[in-house]
A and B are shown apart, each in its own frame.
Chain A
């Protein structure tokens, strides 16, 4: 396993975790753009653009793009989050060049009007699909309320209204602003010929021009709020709570994730034993989200509406027990083992490594092996995790609940 990194003259970074013994390679363009880089009038443009990238380039029609992706036998896809848009393919090593050619060409899409109108319908279907799933709506609302005026409050999918109103011209402008080479990282993992990769990508992109880009970074204001939403067809009640947590650059994030695992992993945690194992709730978990400048510590509860209030009180009491029920050495060890094993097992596939290596580079310009990442979790001390637990008692939180009635 060897890490390689080169920055081309136009600012495009190329990084790879090379494993010559792998059976496959994965390639991806990680674009440092997402919903947090949008203004409200173009909310959803990053994600819509991600779809449009598959709709053809000056050299390829949309049919050509899809056919070539399949011709290469690739497992390919794309996703958009608050902070990044990622296009990736996993292929056999002999297909490195054609895969790179296709993926690189796709970064300069045609964005034709007709395709834009057709694909808009697909995006509206995707929004409708999530609108029918009550916990998803609660999550979007919690993001909006928690982040308030902060750019992370923008919905990744946008809204029916913002997407309907979006013009192809606004998307072209956004693309030309955000897909400059200095805002892109080409990431590779597995059986990669790195020198050839760099040579080929340089040849294909040396005419791309860098442009100054920025992302406003700041911590959101902390707010305390409780929202009840009604979704008449819902059967279960869903409650989410967001409170401030460490961001990606904060070393405390390892502590926070260990704490979330001890308190609320989906198996073997305190919430699991007291709620899920006892058959009181369908789901009761803690989790963390990390962004560049800030983070979220989340609680989630799903269950029967009539039981929600009592379950929620139980969760509140469990996460407030730092004095009466401090974290034990045993709990810490089990959580660390579980997290570390999960990282190492996933790392066997180059396609999984692509996201870890690329995500880390995009957020922090740092490369770490899977073993090094797992060591961060193993390095968390009992004192640190206990302190984080104590801080939870004083958290300021946004809570959103959705269900068939306002009972909870």
Chain B
């Protein structure tokens, strides 16, 4: 469980974090900067995603096609995404190709060509992607849940809106990138097989002269109470639920996460047992902890054929409330056992460590060690979880359903 995490801040404000995992052959890095959807102008929703896409169509010494070819040649697995507050680019590859791989990523941030003649293609792609979720009601349910719960500007989907996407101009993309892709407030993390000093030199070469920031603070996120039904001609009704919990930066986060674990981690968890195993109501049911800055929520999903949707919703809520009746020692010990194993196994993946380092930094302003997380988990007791549940009971519910008929939901609404 020994773990070393390096940390360095460049004079331009960029934070660099590194976790050596010399037992691996791979290396992975994540670059996050404050270019999220909440920073889009209100009439340009979808701009962050389009800007990210356009920034990858040629940068530095590579044309649009050459970027893809170079990364394929190097065998790089890559992904990029936009969340409410950040844009992130992640790449993983064999350690020997780190230098060029990093140069490509840095060029996307520092020297994107933003080809004007490709904007329409980016727009059409964005519109197609947005329309594709209409055929995936479970995903659409979560998009709508976040939109209803976190409201403007925090509840925006990275997929954007039709009117937002249609309004984006080339100048909007260039301006959005130049205002937000800045080193202050950005973090670069690396994990796997690498030499820290060599990496710092590499970063200095490509990002040392980067400047600007910090990003404007957007204020606190206040969740909304809402019940939304979207009629859909489907066999199943998709149910997405959210209620208040504690955020990742909250001192009691691990207690809140522990309660969610009792509800949803593993096949012996309460929701799986009560809703699926005992009653056969669903194939899919889950709950997870979600943090949007200061705002912590639990998000739940259940999908069931429409005639059984009301019972599914009722049993789900009843099961969530059943935490106040007690947590037995077996449940607690299984929760801890799963957490311990997961902490050991994360050492097998450079990509998951690099993204966790970056996430910790932008959310907590520091990294967390395995020892620290383990100590938090070992401290949990049934009493502390129940006390937490009483102090932070489920409230301010948001419910979104997609299916033939709306459901009855009384709680506080």
Contacts and interface: CB of A to CB of B under 8 A. Distances in A.
Binding partners A and B: yes
Interface of A: 21-24, 54, 62-63, 65-67, 69-76, 90-92, 118-126, 128-129, 131-135, 232-236, 267-268, 273, 276-282, 302-304, 330, 333-335, 337-338, 340-342, 344-345, 348-350
A340 to B, nearest CB: 7
B131 A90 contact: no
Among B75, B272, B305, B339, find the residue whose CB has the most chain A CB atoms closer than 10 A. Answer: B75
B337 A334 contact: no
15 contacts: A24-B341, A62-B277, A67-B268, A91-B341, A92-B340, A121-B280, A276-B125, A281-B128, A282-B131, A304-B128, A334-B72, A341-B93, A345-B92, A348-B24, A348-B25
Interface in B186-212: none
B391 to A, nearest CB: 27
Interface in B80-115: 92-94
A92 B234 contact: no
B236 interface: yes
B265 to A, nearest CB: 8
B135 A234 contact: yes
B257 to A, nearest CB: 16
Contact of A282 (B132, B266, B277, B344): B132
Contact of B348 (A133, A341, A349): A349
Interface string B250-275: 00000000000000011111001100
Given A22-B348, A132-B235, 16 more contacts: A23-B345, A66-B268, A70-B337, A72-B337, A125-B236, A125-B282, A132-B137, A232-B233, A236-B128, A279-B124, A282-B131, A304-B131, A334-B69, A337-B72, A337-B74, A342-B75
A344 B76 CA distance: 11
Interface string B132-143: 101111000000
Contacts of B77: 341-342, 345
A299 B181 CA distance: 38
Contact of B341 (A75, A118, A133): A75
Q: Is the interface of B mostly helix, strand, loop or mixed?
A: helix
Given A23-B348, A70-B268, A74-B341, A337 B73 contact: yes
A133 B135 contact: yes
Contacts of B350: 348
A104 to B, nearest CB: 18
Nearest to A77: B267
Of listed B73, B128, B276, B304, residue having the most chain A CB within 10 A = B128
- 8 closest cross-chain pairs (CB), A and B: A341-B75, A279-B124, A73-B341, A121-B280, A235-B134, A70-B266, A279-B121, A73-B337
